[in-house]
Amino acid sequence: MITMKDIIREGHPTLRKKAEQVELPLSDKNLKTLHSMMEFLRNSQDPEKAEELELRPGVGLAAPQINVSKQIIAVRTFNDNDEPKELLLINPKLVSHSQETAYLESGEGCLSVDRPVEGIVPRYARIKVEAYNEHEEKNIFRFRGYEAIVVQHELDHLNGIMFYDRIEDYEDDLKQALPAQSVIPRSENETII
Ligand code: NB4
Ligand code: NI
């Protein structure tokens, strides 16, 4: 079972590496990793479990955060009917995005960052992601709004990017310059979520 002890924190070199592609068919070990990542999100969103296990709540987790440098993402959000929506994305690839940008009004936090960092983190408002699921089916996923932001935060982890790398006026020794092709220019018609 994954707990906060398993989550590596900023300064750990794995968080700055590009994650490796996962080989298909999935090994039992990779399947176990996938499922334990989703179990962590479920536990972290369950107030009783979270207190008992001392988990910070999370809506997403990327494998590099548990020191597994592989292209695996788990996302657990809620739909309009308040039902959980769980997604496991393997070898995800951003295939297209809107020009329009969006950001979370309350800023972003990261389970690998043990301090609050304020500031605007520009993200694309809508994205299309090609990925395999846990059944090894290739799919194109469309995300918008809050969900699109969560997925982009996780995709960044697979590329060694931390959310504060994207905050314009933030200064810190741990902040790194974005590769030019990763820069997201803020749009005029930006959505605040
Ligand atoms: C990933 C998110 C940071 C910004 C927005 C939010 C929470 C994380 C990090 C975008 C992605 C984890 C992975 C939350 C949270 C709202 C929904 C449902 C019920 C509690 C939960 C709390 F916990 N970020 N934490 N941070 N990360 N919303 N919510 N609620 O998830 O570092 O790379 O359960
Ligand atoms: Ni994070």
Q: By alpha-carbon position, which residue is closest to atom 2 of ligand 1? A: 150
Q: How many residues does the chain have?
A: 193
Whole-prediction pTM: 0.98
- Looking from the CA of 184 toward its CB, the CA atoms found within 13 Å total 29
Residue 131 C-alpha to ligand 1 middle, in angstroms?
21
What does the pLDDT read at residue 183? 98
Atom of ligand 1 nearest to the CA of 78: 18
**Tokens read off for 128:** 């299309």
Question: Which amino acid is present at 48?
Answer: E
Where do the domains of the chain lie?
13-192
Beta strands in the chain (DSSP E): 60-62, 72-78, 84-97, 101-103, 123-124, 126-132, 138-144, 191-192
Looking at 46-135, list the stretches that DSSP marks H as alpha helix, in order from N- to C-terminal side: 47-53
pLDDT by residue for the chain (193 residues), tens only, comes to: 999 999 999 999 999 999 999 999 999 999 999 999 999 999 999 999 999 999 999 999 999 999 999 999 999 999 999 999 999 999 999 999 999 999 999 999 999 999 999 999 999 999 999 999 999 999 999 999 999 999 999 999 999 999 999 999 999 999 999 999 999 999 999 999 9
Least Cα distance to 104 among 75, 146, 142, 74 occurs for: 146
- 60 C-beta closer than 6 A to ligand 1: yes
CATH 3.40.50.2020 fits 13-192, yes or no: no
157 is in an annotated binding site: yes
Residue 123 C-alpha to ligand 2 middle, in angstroms?
14
Backbone angles phi, psi at 88, to 5 degrees: -115, 120
Is residue 130 part of the annotated active site? The answer reads no
**b/e burial code for range 31-64 (CB count within 10 A of at least 16 → b):** eebbeebbebbebbbeeeebeeeebeebbbbbbb
Question: Which amino acid is present at 2?
Answer: I
List the shell of residues around ion ligand 2, using CB closer than 5 Å. Answer: 110
35 is in an annotated binding site: no
97 is in an annotated binding site: no
Question: Which amino acid is present at 127?
Answer: I
Sign of CA dihedral 35, 42, 129, 111: negative
